[in-house]
Amino acid sequence: MTEPVLSVRDLKVEFPTRRGILTAVDGVSFDIAPGEILGVVGESGAGKSITGTAIIGLIEPPGRIAAGEVMLRGLRIDALSGEAMRKIRGKRIGMVFQDPLTSLNPLYRIGEQLIETITTHLNLSGAQARTRALELLAEVGIPAPETRIDNYPHQFSGGMRQRVVLALALAAEPELVIADEPTTALDVSVQAQIIALLKRLCRQHGAAVMLITHDMGVIAETADRVAVMYAGRIVEVGPVRDVITAPLHPYTKGLMGSIPSLTGETDRLTQIPGSMPRLTAIPSGCAFHPRCPRAFVPCPTFRPELQNEAKSQVACWLYQPFPVTAGALP
């Protein structure tokens, strides 16, 4: 077996508040293999972005990783000092954020920002770094890179800015790229270009990718495997084709049923009643049980763990024996 690039085990992220401890991510575990794209999908508030932020060590205090571990090629990185983590970010882990304007400094030319990133992490001279920056801009599809390298971020369209952010993320040949909603603010045609570019670049560079999104279309087009998150937990993970065509968890079935079909075979889209629970009111047992059409005896009381089912893993009592204790059954 090839060693995974990223291995996350029982990750728990907490935010202390006046009302008590809020648990945003609760016991999340997954691996990403070299060259693999793992899509992480779920509603807003499911914990997707917090998981990515925790992996790269950017949780703002008083938020903290309360339990679990994050391994990068066998090196535990969740317990590293701030200085040690800064050397890994950009060098071994690249990051693509949702809004490229927040990733680019509006006061500096894009060439200056690329060159700074390259010289920080690679042993290159200024001239060599500029040559490398031009190569990266050409690789991500920026036309006339010799001219555009001296432009400011505001002189680029949204899609072109996102291409520059991709170039920044890949500047130091990272082993892992975390892309957090990289296509949300873009036109559909530009989304398709960025998706194709992300897939091609990561295959060429051999990088593993954690793609965070709420768009199942992006997942279907891009990912090799998909992890479905709900209320800070992974409820299903498996090959993208299996999860999309034959979802196991009732929540995943609801997500898939809410996607319009081009064939028009269904008259109405599936609607999941209710809404994602607030962090102050996460239900006991399976967090999805108040909204689940198939909830039964153990769901409100016992929390299901991920178990193998076919080619996937699912956290649902429909697929595993549930514990029978005093008072658990009517």
**For the chain, what are the domain ranges?**
6-92+172-319
Write out pLDDT tens, residues 246-255: 999 999 998 8
Mean pLDDT of all residues belonging to the chain: 88
pLDDT band at 290 (very low <50, low <70, confident <90, very high): very high
pLDDT at res. 65: 94
pTM of the model: 0.89
pLDDT at res. 327: 41
What is the Cα 268 distance to its own chain's centre?
30
Nearest to 291 by CA among 302, 303, 299: 299
List phi, psi (to 5°) of 108. -120, 145
Nearest to 278 by CA among 10, 19, 73: 19
- CA dist list (Å): 326 to 283, 317, 321, 323, 329: 21, 18, 16, 10, 7
**Once rounded to an integer, what is the mean pLDDT over residues 108-114?**
94
Lowest mean pLDDT among 145-154, 197-206, 249-258, 289-298: 197-206
pLDDT at res. 308: 94
Looking at domain 6-92+172-319, its CATH architecture is 3-Layer(aba) Sandwich (3.40)
Lowest mean pLDDT among 27-36, 220-229, 265-274: 265-274
- What residues pair up with 23 in beta bridges, in sequence order? 14
Cβ–Cβ under 8 Å, residues 178 and 94: yes
Dihedral angle at the C-alpha atoms of 268, 274, 279, 284, nearest 10 degrees? -110
Cβ–Cβ under 8 Å, residues 249 and 314: yes
E strands, 163-232, are 176-180, 208-213, 225-230
Write out pLDDT tens, residues 203-212: 887 889 999 9
> Listing from the earlier edge strand, what are the strands of the sheet with 20-32?
20-32, 6-17, 64-72, 75-76
pLDDT at res. 257: 80
Most confident residue range from 65-69, 97-101, 259-263: 65-69
Alpha-carbon span 197 to 209, nearest angstrom: 13
pLDDT at res. 323: 67
Query: Is the bond into 62 cis (omega within 30 degrees of 0)?
Result: yes
Beta carbons within 10 angstroms of residue 213's beta carbon: 23
**Once rounded to an integer, what is the mean pLDDT over residues 177-195?**
83
Write out pLDDT tens, residues 117-130: 999 888 899 899 99
